[in-house]
Structure 1
Amino acid sequence: MEKSMSRKARLFLALVTSSIAVFASSTTTAATFPQKPVRFVVGYAPGGGTDVLARVIGRKLSDMWAQPVVVENRAGAGGTIAARLVAHSASDGYTILMITTNHTVPSHEHRDLNYDPIKSFAPVIEIAYIPSALLVNPSLQVSSVRELIELVKAKPGKLNFGSTGPGTAQFMDMHLLMNAAGIKMVNVTYKGAGLILVALLGNEIQLTLQPITAYLESIKAGKLKALAVTGKVRSGLLPDVPTYSETTALHGFEGSANWYGIVAPAGTSKEIVRKLHDDVATAINTSEVQRLLSVQGFVTVSGSPEQFAKKIANDLSKWSNLLKTVDVR
């Protein structure tokens, strides 16, 4: 009997010791992370807004960690190539991914992703967003969203808007606007923002919805007119332009800003996720990074991993519901 109890005691002690060792190991790992270079994957080409944001934050983290943060561009397929790479990377915190609003859209138009936009990742932090502006050719002779709605209702299906194609964030958000206002316009697809700008200036299309920074120069030069911006508050880049929600005809509709955030592969420990979150939040809130991002039109956020996970899930649900009413072929 004593021998049996002794064996049980030894087993219990071994289990307790093992649990303590595992806990101590994870805590120590998080406290000393990172101990080697961190790969920061971006699903878009160098020089774009997503790349700029990643490099600004990456440089600050490199200084904080005394370890290189290597930005790796894996452009193509709306960010899904980069997402697939990170989804199948080691869940040790040394490979992270910058995602955008588009992360919540492609899963509906691509059936061969080989990853799940929610289950394959551990959300770390939402970093920032850039409001979009509803832009028109000045020849349209409307000065507000209310006037635009009245014009479109008088000429249903006669006005064209430009986008980079069905399933993209701007295309989807324009349909949210049309649903909110009860109007109908026709999409014309272009291969890039530059071609949309040319078409809008040439009155080939009458309006578009794009990130403010993309066309800011043309707006300030008076070549384009901004009727409204997305988001809860006015943009510091266009302080005189109202938000959608200030238009009574839209009944509180805000539109969708272009957001940016960081995720890690699913299975990354909560301790490492928290370490990444806290350090990125610290980097974002430094005066240096705030200044660099505000010049680019970014509005910083830095919410918790749980808040970011909820945002991703909510956006997936929103686009899924919209896709039931929109032909994206």
Structure 2
Amino acid sequence: MKKLIACVLATLICTLSANAQTTFPNKPVKLMVGAGAGGGTDIIARMLAEKMTDSLKGSFIVENKPGASNTIAADLTAKAAPDGHTLLVATNTGQAIAPHLIKLSFDPIKDLTPIGLVVTVPNVLVVGAHVPANTVKELVALMKAKPEEFKYASSGVGSTQHIAGEGFDIAAGVKSIHIPYKGSAQAHLDIIAGNVQMMFDTTSSAMGQIKAGKFKPLAVTTPQRSAELPDVPTLAEAGVAGFEMSTWYGVFVTAGTPSDVVTKLQNELARIIKLPDVQAKLKGLGGEPGNISPDEFSKRNKQDFERFGKLIKQANIKM
């Protein structure tokens, strides 16, 4: 009798376990976003939520938790139940830069498991139309002739635009003044007005001003040229080697989430990214759709974390 009961219990446990593996999601899934509605991260999160709701037959809901350089959303995800029902749509600002500037109560590497890279958006060095420089070489000459008179804008302290400016100063051997804003819109107005000379903005954000002739693009800060700006050289091609910057968007889940759920999410994200309409939308944002494996994305996340940490220390950047 005891053996019979043991067998029945074992069968029941196996059945429940199998059901648990096949019923994800079994409650609403939150996609946490560390920025406000309407921005690039939010747009990507809502696109993913719509696709996953259709394919995984669950409810995927975007929750905006802006603040602290995108780390509030990351903190909530890191401390959520490890069951796959809380996802983080993140950028390298929150994952690889902010942790070196803000004291966090979680570890962005150990407490969050990468699901996959969604898109990479190049940063581009732009100057206002009033700046008498049409190449990086000419800009560097002007900056050396007038030390610390050139100002560069960013969307905030600790943003990729901020770090790119500091990295450029070190690589080019110049010194500029950082002017942080609460977003790119006001920064653009001040560049157009001549109050600030330059910015290392994302291509998706700067493209409108470039097409309008109000910004001059001098170089992209990525290893390869941007498909959106094929005639604009890379910084290395323009004579300033040793620094790269792009803004990536990726998906993470709480560490400790069962491997079968992680794999299911990874496979689903990879499938979604390959959809023609998704590819078109990501390219419309000025980005290159993700085409690397989850392991490669994890490696990139760690490399960026270490690389930006060294740069922040070298440049003595403080919040």
> Do Structure 1 and Structure 2 share a fold, with TM-score over 0.5?
yes
Q: Is the 8 A contact 1:38 1:95 kept in 2?
A: yes
Report the alpha carbon displacement of residue 68 of structure 1 after superposing the two structures with TM.
1.9
The 5 Å alignment of 1:240-319 reads 240-247=231-238, 249-251=239-241, 253=242, 255-319=244-308
Equivalent position of 2:102 in the other structure: 110
Q: How many Å separate the matches in 1 of 2:227 and 2:300? A: 24
Deviates more, 1:168-177 or 1:258-267: 168-177
Extract unaligned runs of 5+ from structure 1. Answer: 1-9
Question: Counterpart of 2:292 in structure 1: which amino acid?
Answer: G
Question: Counterpart of 1:106 in structure 2: which amino acid?
Answer: A
Report the alpha carbon displacement of residue 69 of structure 1 after superposing the two structures with TM.
1.2
Question: Counterpart of 2:296 in structure 1: which amino acid?
Answer: Q
Question: Counterpart of 2:240 in structure 1: which amino acid?
Answer: L
Q: How many Å separate the matches in 2 of 1:258 and 1:114? A: 24
> Among the aligned pairs, what percent are the same residue?
35
Deviations 1:214-266, CA, capped at 9 Å, x for gaps: 1222110111111111223322322222222322x223x45211001011111
Deviates more, 1:62-71 or 1:228-237: 228-237
Q: Is the 8 A contact 2:129 2:214 kept in 1?
A: yes
Root-mean-square deviation over aligned CA pairs = 2.4
- SS across alignment from 2:130: helix
Question: Counterpart of 2:115 in structure 1: which amino acid?
Answer: V
Q: How many Å separate the matches in 2 of 1:281 and 1:27? A: 24
Deviates more, 1:212-221 or 1:26-35: 26-35
Q: Is the 8 A contact 2:28 2:58 kept in 1?
A: yes
Q: How many Å separate the matches in 1 of 2:317 and 2:259? A: 38
The 5 Å alignment of 1:52-91 reads 52-91=43-82
Deviates more, 1:311-320 or 1:259-268: 311-320
Q: How many Å separate the matches in 1 of 2:17 and 2:111? A: 21
Q: Is the 8 A contact 1:125 1:261 kept in 2?
A: yes
Equivalent position of 1:7 in the other structure: none
Q: How many Å separate the matches in 2 of 1:136 and 1:47? A: 26
Question: Counterpart of 2:305 in structure 1: which amino acid?
Answer: L
Equivalent position of 2:209 in the other structure: 218
Report the alpha carbon displacement of residue 278 of structure 1 after superposing the two structures with TM.
0.6
Q: How many Å separate the matches in 1 of 2:229 and 2:58? A: 38
Report the alpha carbon displacement of residue 31 of structure 1 after superposing the two structures with TM.
4.2
Q: Is the 8 A contact 2:220 2:233 kept in 1?
A: yes
1:153 paired to 2:144? yes
Q: How many Å separate the matches in 1 of 2:138 and 2:17? A: 59
Question: Counterpart of 2:46 in structure 1: which amino acid?
Answer: R
Q: How many Å separate the matches in 1 of 2:19 and 2:168? A: 49
Q: Is the 8 A contact 1:30 1:275 kept in 2?
A: no
- SS across alignment from 1:246: coil
Extract unaligned runs of 5+ from structure 2. Answer: none
For the pair shown, the structure with the greater C-alpha radius of gyration is 1
